[in-house]
């Protein structure tokens, strides 16, 4: 079945058009041009600001002119992750999609439903002629996934809307009213290399499901970098190890699914036996949640030089010590992760080490507590640490007029109460709200599973529910 044949057809049509346009974070030139042309072809006022955000304005429909004005907001970029056996270029190819029962998914790559379904929904409202709505500003931001530079670059005064509806959450029964902030923690060091004095062994961790480093961080999924660190640490107990290379994980906001290390050890046979015993324990630990986990340990060859045993030990101990996962649960909001860290990327090549982390928290002091713990561990090992890309969280306002309205509509429409929540993801609302403190904000969206991983999929019935809910909200916006 073609996506154009499933309901709501207008959203899936626009999502298909959007997904034909390459749109990796920080490389959004094509999708910016696509959305700009879309707005101009509709005859709507369309502007691109100096960082690349697009604002398209649409006047209120007849009879809705006296309602509060709305900003509909989604981000244009997508997380680009693929399975290792898939040949795909995110910079030149459109996403290849398929229908699997009630789900739309991609063939071995991320789908881009995060946040493409939000973008497609806004496009559908902009081009509609029969959907009642007040004055609208459609805000399409860039680079949400790798720095939120679009939201950070949005200047005061560019928007006039009184209520912002962010269409970027992943559970259709949730109304989000708060989110976590984040900070990038980058650990680096350069080491001298020397000839390897042992036998080469290759360690590989793969087959993990990965996921969103905010929304999924509490679920106990395996982190390939952490598992690899456990294997290397096990080998330290009896053998002298020289690290040659490490290649683990990818983007800061994706839980690492794969990691590989090549090491030199003086007694490869004993080393492999030791680590194989730990492998069995790890597979048993994760059996119920990571059925696809594979750990491969084998002899190999390499012509590359190695680090000294002393420097290798420092790196392995650091990797074993870095906090990964939930750091603190919120004492104020039930079941909300307050702060966490994702050890997202570990790269060692030619003596150059880089470890990328994304620390999140809905409390600024807790966010820096996580980051400073990582910094302390790394500096004890003589490594360099840089903080960057800090962005604020979004403080919940559960009693706001728009939240009450959406709760009321949801109950009337679906005969159940929605979950009014704060989330551990990094939504753009906190950043936008810093420049527009009087603007009421809510985030909601259709059900998406596996965001930031090749298992990402969007639920078709949920998209129908989301579309109906969105239209009812627009039709019932309060008077000015």
Residues 204 and 463 sit within 8 Å (Cβ to Cβ): no
Nearest to 317 by CA among 405, 406, 362, 377: 377
Torsion of CA 449, 143, 116, 47, to 10 degrees: 160
Q: What mean pLDDT do residues 132-141 have?
A: 98
Q: What mean pLDDT do residues 144-171 have?
A: 94
**168-182 as b/e, with b when 16 or more CB fall inside 10 Å?**
bbbbbebbbbbbbbb
Domains of the chain and any CATH numbers: 3-179+393-475 (3.40.630.10), 183-391 (3.30.70.360)
Q: What mean pLDDT do residues 110-137 have?
A: 98
Q: Express each pLDDT in 312-363 by its tens digit.
A: 999 999 999 999 999 999 888 888 899 999 999 999 999 999 999 999 998 8
Its pTM stands at 0.75
User: What is the separation of C-alpha 129 from the centre of its chain, rounded to a whole number of angstroms?
Assistant: 34
Residues 218 and 328 sit within 8 Å (Cβ to Cβ): no
Residues 139 and 49 sit within 8 Å (Cβ to Cβ): no
Rounded to the nearest integer, the mean pLDDT of the chain is 95
Q: Is the pLDDT of residue 239 over 90?
A: no
Q: What mean pLDDT do residues 161-170 have?
A: 96
Tokens 């420049």 correspond to what residue?
Answer: 435
Residues 397 and 354 sit within 8 Å (Cβ to Cβ): no
**Eight-state DSSP code of residue 199:** E
pLDDT of residue 426: 82
pLDDT of residue 399: 84
| Per-residue confidence band for 1, with pLDDT thresholds at 50, 70 and 90 | low
Nearest to 343 by CA among 363, 364, 370, 361: 370
- Which candidate in 77, 114, 290, 309 is catalytic? 77
Q: Express each pLDDT in 381-411 by its tens digit.
A: 999 999 998 988 888 888 899 999 999 999 9
pLDDT of residue 325: 97
- Omega into 115 within 30° of 0, i.e. cis? yes
Q: What mean pLDDT do residues 454-465 have?
A: 97
- Which candidate in 114, 135, 143, 144 is catalytic? 144
Nearest to 201 by CA among 124, 291, 300, 113: 300
Percent of the chain with pLDDT over 70: 100
Number of alpha helices (DSSP H) and beta strands (DSSP E) in the chain: 11, 23
State how far the Cα of 65 lies from the Cα of 280, in Å rounded to an integer. 66
Catalytic, 77? Answer yes
Q: Express each pLDDT in 264-316 by its tens digit.
A: 998 889 999 999 999 999 999 999 999 999 999 999 999 999 999 999 999 99
Cα angle value 38/110/166 (rounded, 5°): 50
pLDDT of residue 267: 87
- DSSP reduced 3-state for 407: helix
Q: What mean pLDDT do residues 69-87 have?
A: 95
Catalytic, 144? Answer yes
pLDDT of residue 398: 81
Q: Is the pLDDT of residue 237 over 80?
A: no
State how far the Cα of 257 lies from the Cα of 351, in Å rounded to an integer. 24
Q: Is the pLDDT of residue 238 over 90?
A: no
pLDDT of residue 479: 95
Token pair recorded at residue 375: 């910094």
State how far the Cα of 316 lies from the Cα of 43, in Å rounded to an integer. 59
Q: Is the pLDDT of residue 158 over 60?
A: yes
């Amino acid at each position: 079945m073609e996506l154009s044949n499933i309901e709501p057809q207008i959203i899936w049509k626009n999502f298909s058009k959007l997904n034909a346009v390459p749109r990796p974070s920080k490389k959004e030139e094509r999708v910016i041009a696509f959305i700009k042309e879309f707005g101009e072809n509709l005859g709507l006022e369309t502007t691109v600001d100096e960082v690349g955000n697009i604002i398209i304005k649409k006047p209120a429909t007849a009879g809705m002119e006296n309602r509060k004005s709305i900003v509909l907001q989604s981000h244009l970029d997508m997380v680009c992750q693929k399975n290792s056996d898939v040949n795909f270029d995110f910079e030149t190819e459109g996403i290849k999609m398929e229908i699997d029962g009630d789900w739309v998914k991609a063939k071995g790559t991320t789908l881009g439903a995060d946040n493409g379904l939000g973008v497609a929904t806004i496009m559908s409202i902009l081009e509609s002629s029969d959907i009642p709505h007040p004055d609208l500003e459609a805000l399409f931001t860039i680079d949400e996934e790798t720095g939120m530079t679009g939201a950070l670059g949005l200047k005061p005064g560019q928007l006039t809307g009184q209520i912002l509806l962010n269409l970027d959450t992943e559970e259709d029964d949730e109304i989000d009213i708060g989110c976590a902030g984040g900070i990038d923690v980058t650990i680096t060091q350069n080491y001298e290399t020397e000839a390897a004095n042992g036998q080469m062994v290759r360690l590989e961790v793969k087959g993990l499901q990965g996921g969103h480093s905010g929304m999924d961080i509490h679920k106990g999924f395996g982190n390939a970098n952490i598992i690899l660190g456990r294997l290397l640490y096990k080998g330290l107990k009896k053998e002298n190890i020289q690290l040659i290379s490490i290649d683990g994980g990818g983007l800061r906001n994706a839980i690492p699914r794969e990691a590989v290390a090549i090491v030199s050890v003086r007694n490869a046979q004993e080393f492999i036996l030791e680590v194989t015993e730990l492998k069995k324990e790890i597979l048993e630990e994760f059996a119920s949640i990571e059925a696809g986990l594979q750990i491969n340990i084998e002899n190999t060859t390499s012509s590359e030089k190695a680090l000294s045993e002393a420097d290798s030990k420092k790196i392995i101990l650091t990797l074993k010590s870095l906090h990964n996962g939930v750091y603190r649960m919120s004492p104020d909001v039930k079941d909300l992760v307050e702060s966490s860290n994702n050890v997202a990327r570990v790269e060692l090549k030619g003596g150059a080490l880089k470890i990328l982390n994304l620390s999140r928290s809905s409390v600024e002091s807790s966010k820096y507590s996580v980051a400073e713990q990582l910094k302390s561990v790394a500096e004890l090992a003589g490594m360099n640490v840089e903080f960057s890309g800090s962005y604020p969280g979004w403080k919940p306002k559960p009693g706001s007029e728009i939240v009450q309205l959406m709760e009321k509509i949801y109950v009337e429409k679906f005969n159940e109460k929605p979950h009014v929540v704060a989330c551990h993801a990094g939504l753009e609302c906190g950043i936008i709200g810093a420049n527009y403190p009087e603007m009421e904000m809510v985030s909601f969206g259709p059900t998406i599973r596996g965001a930031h991983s090749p298992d990402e999929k969007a639920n078709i019935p949920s998209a129908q529910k989301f579309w109906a809910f969105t239209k009812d909200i627009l039709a019932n916006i309060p008077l000015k």
